[in-house]
Structure 1
Amino acid sequence: MALMPPGPETGEQLDWLEVERELGCQLPADFRDLLAVYGAGTVDECLMVLPAVRGEHESGIPSVGQMTPTAENTAWLSHTKSGYPLWPEPGALVCGLRLVDGNGDLWGAVYWRTTGSVPEQWPVVLWERPRPFVEFDLSMAGLLVKWLTEAADIDFDRRLVFGAPHSRFIHWRIEREMREQGLDPWEYLEPLYIEANEAWEEQNLRPHPGS
C-alpha cells in the first residue's frame, strides 16, 4: 500500500486454516493480505488492525473474535442500537478494524456483513460514535485506502487518520519496544493535530468577509 509503507518488522505469518476453524469463518483475502504485509497494529494511534484470533491476543489489541457481536458479547454494542443479527447468524457482523479516540476509548469499528458464502463479496459496515451504521460497497482494504487518501469523500464526524503522506502504521511489537525504551511512538502526531485544529478554527470560528 504505497499510501502508507508498512515499516520494519511488520506482517504476520498465520495458519489460515486454523484461523478459520477458530473463528468459524474465512476472512476476505484483502484482510488476509493486510495482516501478511502489516500485521496487527495501529494507524495514527486511532485505527487498529485486529489480530485474527477468537480470544485475547498478546498484543493487548482486542481481537476479531472479541470485537464481533455475539449472544455472549453484546454489552459494549448495546448503545449503538444495532439491528444486525448476532454472529454466527447469516448477515451478522464480523469485526476487522477498531477505532479509538484520543483517550483510547472505543470510538467505532469496521465490520464485514456476512452475506453469502463468498467473503470477498461481503460489504463493509462502519459504526462511528455517535452516528448510525453505514454500509459501503467496498472491501475493508478499499475503505482503508480511502481513509489514507487526502481527497477522501467519506463523510465522517472527524478525520480519524491524517492520510498520505502523514499516516503511519506501527506494529504492536514495535510500539511495545518503543514504549519500553521510553519513546512515544505517536510523537509525530502533535504538529499534525495543531495544524488540523488551526485549519478547523479558521474554517469554523473566525468571521468570514461580509458576515
Structure 2
Amino acid sequence: MGVPEVARDAGLSGPRRYRVDWQRVEASLGTRLPADYREYVYWFGPGAFDDYLHVCVPGVENGGVELGAQLAREHQGRRRRAQINRRYKPPFPLFPEPGGWLPFAFTTGGDVLYWVTSGADPDRWTVAGRPGRGSDLGYFAGGFADFLREFVHDTIELHIIAETESEVPIAFEPDTGAWLGEPAKRLEPYGAFEEAPEG
C-alpha cells in the first residue's frame, strides 16, 4: 500500500497538491530525502493525524512544523544541554553526523520521529523515535510509507506511539502551514498548493 492509498484511507479524496522546490530543500538539508516522503508532501501537505502526529513539511510559514526548522531545533536543544552539562552525551547521532538521525515528525506528547540515515540510499532509511518522557528509544524496521500505513491503521508496533482512542483508520486533519504565532518561528514560505487545498 503506497502513499495515495494511505491518503484515501486517512480521508483525502485526492492529492492536496502541495509543491515545493526539492532542490532547495535537499540542498539546505545536505541530503536527498526518501521518495515516499516526497510523495507524501504532495498528497498531504501540512496537517496532522488526529491532532496527535504532525509530519513536518518543507517550505511552510509555520516554523513549528517545517522540516528544516525541526532539525535546527534539535541541534539547538543539544547545544543547550551541552552548555548546561559538559558531560552530556547524546543518545544517538544527529544528522549530518554519519548515520545521524534526521527528525521528520513529532507527537503532541513530545515524542520525535526520525529517519536513521544509514547508507547512501534514502529510500532504505528506517524510522526511529525518541520519547517525550523517558529515555527508551524506539525502532521501526520499515521506511516512511510503511510507518505511515501502520500508524493510520493503528497497527504500529513502536512503544513511543500511543494506541489511538479514535476511529481507525486515523483521519488526517489538513491545514495551510500558516504561522500561528509564538512560540513557533515565522518563516518565509516557499512551498505552495497548486490550487486551493481540499479538506
TM-score by length of 1: 0.66
Q: Is the 8 A contact 2:56 2:104 kept in 1?
A: yes
User: Which of 17, 20, 32 is equivalent to 2:23?
Assistant: 17
Partner of 1:149: 153
Partner of 2:195: none
User: Which of 7, 12, 16 is equivalent to 1:6?
Assistant: 12
Q: Residues of 1 paired with 2:173 and 2:141: CA distance?
A: 28
Aligned-residue CA RMSD in angstroms? 3.2
Equivalent pairs: percent with the same residue?
23
Partner of 1:98: 106
Partner of 1:113: 116
Partner of 2:42: 36
TM alignment of 1:25-104, pairs within 5 A: 25-53=31-59, 57-68=60-71, 72-75=75-78, 82-101=90-109
Q: Is the 8 A contact 2:154 2:163 kept in 1?
A: no
* 1:159 partner letter: E
User: How many residues matched?
Assistant: 167
Q: Which moved more, 1:111-120 or 1:86-95?
A: 86-95
Q: Residues of 2 paired with 1:36 and 1:157: CA distance?
A: 25
SS in 2 for 1:110: strand
Q: Residues of 1 paired with 2:149 and 2:46: CA distance?
A: 17
Which structure 1 residue ranges, 5 or more long, are not aligned? Answer: 102-106, 177-211
Q: Residues of 2 paired with 1:149 and 1:32: CA distance?
A: 21
The superposition leaves residues 96-153 of structure 1 with CA deviations (integer Å, 9 ceiling, x where unpaired) of 111113xxxxx21110011111001111111222242112211122112112224444
Which is greater in Rg?
1
Q: Is the 8 A contact 1:148 1:161 kept in 2?
A: no
Q: Is the 8 A contact 1:126 1:134 kept in 2?
A: yes
User: Which of 164, 171, 175 is equivalent to 1:172?
Assistant: 175
The superposition leaves residues 16-49 of structure 1 with CA deviations (integer Å, 9 ceiling, x where unpaired) of 1121112111110111111110012111111111
The structure-2 alpha-carbon separation of the partners of 1:7 and 1:108, relative to structure 1 and needing over 3 Å to count, comes to farther
* 2:151 partner letter: W
1:136 matches 2:140: yes
Q: Is the 8 A contact 1:148 1:163 kept in 2?
A: no
* 2:115 partner letter: W
Q: Which has the higher contact order (CA 8 A, sep 6+)?
A: 2
1:159 matches 2:163: yes
* 2:48 partner letter: T
Q: Is the 8 A contact 1:148 1:162 kept in 2?
A: no
Q: Is the 8 A contact 2:103 2:114 kept in 1?
A: yes
Which structure 2 residue ranges, 5 or more long, are not aligned? Answer: 1-5, 82-88, 180-199
Q: Residues of 2 paired with 1:95 and 1:162: CA distance?
A: 25
